[in-house]
């Protein structure tokens, strides 16, 4: 999601990909890492207290407080400009905290590719009561209010100012802020567990591997850490989306599969007809716009299926499609599925998933063109979507058209920096205390760790679960399998904390005896 060249760049350039699908699909599956864009954050309407002294945090505090941390721009160089700083926003909730003397844990939620306001409605409030934990939510650099160089416009003005925007710098931000926070709270001995969802889940797992002296463990929800460097088939996510629909209804699956060629059969003179038939708010410029929009809807429904307990978004679409008479034509059924999913509006905004100049999308475009590159395409007729193979050269050329010919994407860097190939063998050698949680209806579960690697590198998944469902707030209507998944996570984290405190207490006894 990207640059000043991103501001005002034509939408089709911003979402450049093979057949204009790759970046669009990446944005769809990563935007709103923890909650669907349709859900509103709980703390978004609260007053943002900036500049409150950190000393005001105590176990007796009764609200979440917003702070700004003076963060280092470049953690990995000693150039004069590396020591430039920017204000990084974070939120502290201490209403449940047992305090420093109790060795109560600190749960750190690692912000991902959006404002932290959109990511704080999670299960952590429920977990905090069980652990007497301090809750901290940290915003990712270049998202929300945490932008360097004084303003978003300046930060995204060129590739030089965007050059400090990558996952390694973000992890170092978290490390520096956590160490500083613990010191200011005199909480150096309190165990830290980092938590994140989707891209944030990837960051959480990588943080535990890179900074094990800071975090005793990590909960990585729906984290597709294997989706890099051609480790996986390029169509894995589309295969899962198709499987979700096919399991729901064979006729629904077949209708969608047949619809693409029927849309293609209309020539450019029929764009007005398609616009009217699908009740679009703006006239179509190409048939690909319509196909991309429908594709986004199907992927969105699969990714966030069962976000509301016992409500299947995939089923809603398929009920709409199958509810129309078999005598109706294919496109009429597709429109009925759209109406069912969107609630039959006067018109549908074809840009709803990718609003022009949306800062979250522009930010992720940059990451998708630099270090967070994945291959996403379809080379076989094994999904309900059209064949559209991934072409890395075409993808890189698209990125260079946005950012300039000097941009050099690094498609292999994530695997080099954090690992991925032979993940079981590698993590067995040096990794520990990571929970990889997934729901198998989530397209990105195919990029996650789905088997235990060791006793402390644990995979917990649910057959009916969807994207980051385990870290959404608990609900009385939650199914038994979801509650069981969360209880398993709690039990494992309790073990980490008990082990840490036991080792720390023994050390104190030894030190006193010396």
Quickly state the pLDDT bin for 512 (edges 50, 70, 90).
low
Q: Are residues 402 and 433 in the same domain?
A: no
Residue 191 and residue 251 in one domain: no
pLDDT of 513 reads 57
| 4-18, 78-92, 127-141, 220-234: least confident range | 4-18
User: For the range 289-292, what are the long-range contacts, defined as Cβ-Cβ under 8 Å and sequence gap of 24 or more?
Assistant: 289/350, 290/263, 290/350, 291/260, 291/263, 291/386, 292/20, 292/21, 292/24
User: Given a cut of 60, is residue 61 above it in pLDDT?
Assistant: no
Question: Residue 401: its pLDDT value, please?
Answer: 93
With a CB cutoff of 8 Å and minimum separation 6, the contacts of 55 are: 184
* 412 flagged as catalytic: no
Same domain flag for 377 and 431: no
Q: Which domain holds residue 202?
A: 64-229+416-512
Q: Can you spell out the DSSP letters for 448-475?
A: S--S--SSSEEEEEESS--TTGGGSPP-
Encode pLDDT of 101-158 as tens digits.
778 999 999 999 999 988 888 889 899 999 999 999 999 999 999 999 999 999 999 9
**Residue 399 belongs to a domain:** yes
In a domain, 21, yes or no: no
What average pLDDT does this structure show over 367-384?
93
Catalytic residue among 198, 205, 259, 445: 198
Indicate the residue among 409, 424, 451 that finishes a domain.
409
3-state secondary structure of 51: coil
- Here the tokens at position 361 are 């999308």
pLDDT surpasses 90 at 36: no
For the ranges 32-36, 59-63, 252-256, the lowest mean pLDDT is seen at 32-36
Has residue 30 been placed in a domain? Answer: no
pLDDT higher for 62 or 375? Answer: 375
Number of domains in the chain: 2
Q: Does residue 122 sit in the same domain as residue 238?
A: no
Q: Is 437 a residue of the active site?
A: no
Whether residues 431 and 290 share a domain: the answer is no
Same domain assignment for residues 357 and 501: no
3-state DSSP call for residue 258? helix
Tell me how far apart the alpha carbons of residues 342 and 294 are, in angstroms, rounded to a whole number: 12
Q: Kindly give, in sequence order, each residue whose CB lies less than 8 Å from that of residue 44, ignoring residues fewer than 6 positions away.
A: 117, 118
Q: For the sheet with 434-439, list strands across it.
A: 64-72, 85-93, 134-138, 106-110, 192-197, 217-221, 434-439, 457-462
Q: What is the CATH number of the domain that holds 342?
A: 1.20.120.980
Which of 409, 437, 461 terminates a domain? The answer is 409
Which range is most confident: 299-308, 405-414, 436-445?
Answer: 436-445
Distance, CA of 173 to CA of 164 (rounded, Å): 11
Is residue 137 in some structural domain?
Answer: yes
Residue 230 has pLDDT above 70, yes or no: yes
Does 240 lie in the same domain as 209? no
The residue behind tokens 């088997």 is: 451
Size of the chain in residues = 514
Residues 85 and 189 in one domain: yes
- Which of 409, 436, 462 is the last residue before a domain boundary? 409
Domain membership of residue 203 (yes or no) is yes
**Which pLDDT belongs to residue 148?**
98
Residues 92, 383: Cα–Cα separation, whole Å: 44
pLDDT of residue 63: 67
The two structure tokens encoding residue 494: 């309790």
Q: Is the pLDDT of residue 510 over 90?
A: no
Assess whether pLDDT exceeds 60 at residue 227: yes
Mean pLDDT of 417-444: 93
Residues 6+ apart with CB under 8 A from 269: none
Backbone φ and ψ for 504, nearest 5 degrees, come out as: -65, -40
One domain for residues 199 and 245: no
Rg (CA), the chain: 23
In this predicted structure, what is the pLDDT of residue 180? 97
What is the mean pLDDT of the segment spanning 338-347?
Answer: 92
Q: Give percent of the chain with pLDDT exceeding 90.
A: 73
Is 12 inside any structural domain?
A: no
Percentage of the chain exceeding pLDDT 70:
86
Look up 467 and say whether it is catalytic: yes
- Domain match, 223 and 268 both: no
Question: How far apart (Å, rounded) are the C-alpha atoms in residues 198 and 187?
Answer: 29
For residue 315, pLDDT over 60 is answered with yes
Residues 285 and 390 in one domain: yes
Of 442, 445, 466, 478, which is the active-site residue?
442
- For residue 107, the domain's CATH number is 3.40.50.1820
Q: Which of 231, 230, 196 is nearest to 215 (CA)?
A: 196
Output the six-digit token pair for 56: 């005001």
Task: Give how far Cα 280 sits from Cα of 19, 98, 115, 257, Å.
Answer: 22, 54, 29, 21
Residue 507: pLDDT band (50, 70, 90) is low
Please indicate, yes or no, if residue 50 is contained in any of the structural domains. Answer: no
Q: Is the pLDDT of residue 53 over 60?
A: no
Average pLDDT, the chain: 86
Confirm whether 31 is domain-assigned.
no
Same domain, 390 and 435: no
pLDDT value at position 252?
97
Confidence of residue 173 (pLDDT cuts 50, 70, 90): very high
Q: Is the alpha carbon torsion for 428, 429, 433, 439 positive or negative?
A: negative
Strands 217-221 and 134-138: unpaired
């Amino acid at each position: 999601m990207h640059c000043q060249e991103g501001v005002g760049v034509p939408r089709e350039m911003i979402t450049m990909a093979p057949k204009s699908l790759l970046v669009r699909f990446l944005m769809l599956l990563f935007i709103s890492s923890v909650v669907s864009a349709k859900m509103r954050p709980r703390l978004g309407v609260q007053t943002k207290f900036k500049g409150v002294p950190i000393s005001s945090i105590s176990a007796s505090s009764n609200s979440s407080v917003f702070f700004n941390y003076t963060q280092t721009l470049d953690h990995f160089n000693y150039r004069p400009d590396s020591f430039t700083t920017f204000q990084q926003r974070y939120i502290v909730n201490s209403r449940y905290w047992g305090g420093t003397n109790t060795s109560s844990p600190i749960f750190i939620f690692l912000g991902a590719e959006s404002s932290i306001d959109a990511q704080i409605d999670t299960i952590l409030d429920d977990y905090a009561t069980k652990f007497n934990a301090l809750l901290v939510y940290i915003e990712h650099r270049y998202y929300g209010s945490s932008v360097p160089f004084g303003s978003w416009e300046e930060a995204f003005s060129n590739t030089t100012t965007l050059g400090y925007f990558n996952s390694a710098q973000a992890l170092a931000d978290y490390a520096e802020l956590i160490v500083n926070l613990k010191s200011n709270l005199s909480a150096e001995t309190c165990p830290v567990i980092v938590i994140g969802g989707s891209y944030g889940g990837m960051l959480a797992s990588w943080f535990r591997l890179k900074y094990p002296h800071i975090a005793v463990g990590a909960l990585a929800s729906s984290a597709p850490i294997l989706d890099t460097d051609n480790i996986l088939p390029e169509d894995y996510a589309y295969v899962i989306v198709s499987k979700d629909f096919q399991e729901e209804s064979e006729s629904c699956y077949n209708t969608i599969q047949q619809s693409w060629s029927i849309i293609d059969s209309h020539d450019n003179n029929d764009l007005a007809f398609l616009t009217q038939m699908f009740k679009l708010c703006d006239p179509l410029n190409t048939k690909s716009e319509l196909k991309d929009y429908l594709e986004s809807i199907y992927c969105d429904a699969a990714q966030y299926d069962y976000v509301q307990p016992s409500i299947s978004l995939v089923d809603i679409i398929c009920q709409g499609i199958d509810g129309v008479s078999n005598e109706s034509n294919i496109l009429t059924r597709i429109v009925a599925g759209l109406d069912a999913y969107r609630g039959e509006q006067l018109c549908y905004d074809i840009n709803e998933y990718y609003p022009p100049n949306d800062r979250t999308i522009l930010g992720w475009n940059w990451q998708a063109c630099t270090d967070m590159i994945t291959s996403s395409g379809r080379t076989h007729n094994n999904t309900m979507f059209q064949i559209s193979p991934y072409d890395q050269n075409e993808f890189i050329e698209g990125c260079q058209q946005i950012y300039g010919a000097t941009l050099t994407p690094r498609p292999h860097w994530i695997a080099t920096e954090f690992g991925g190939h032979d993940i079981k063998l590698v993590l067995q050698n040096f990794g520990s205390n990571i929970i990889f949680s997934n729901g198998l209806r989530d397209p990105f579960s195919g990029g996650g760790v789905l088997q235990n690697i060791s006793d402390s590198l644990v995979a917990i998944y649910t057959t009916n679960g969807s994207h980051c469902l385990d870290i959404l707030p608990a609900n009385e209507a939650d199914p038994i399998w979801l509650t069981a998944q969360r209880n398993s996570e709690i039990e494992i984290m309790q073990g980490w904390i008990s082990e840490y405190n036991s080792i720390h207490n023994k050390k104190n006894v030894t030190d006193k005896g010396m």
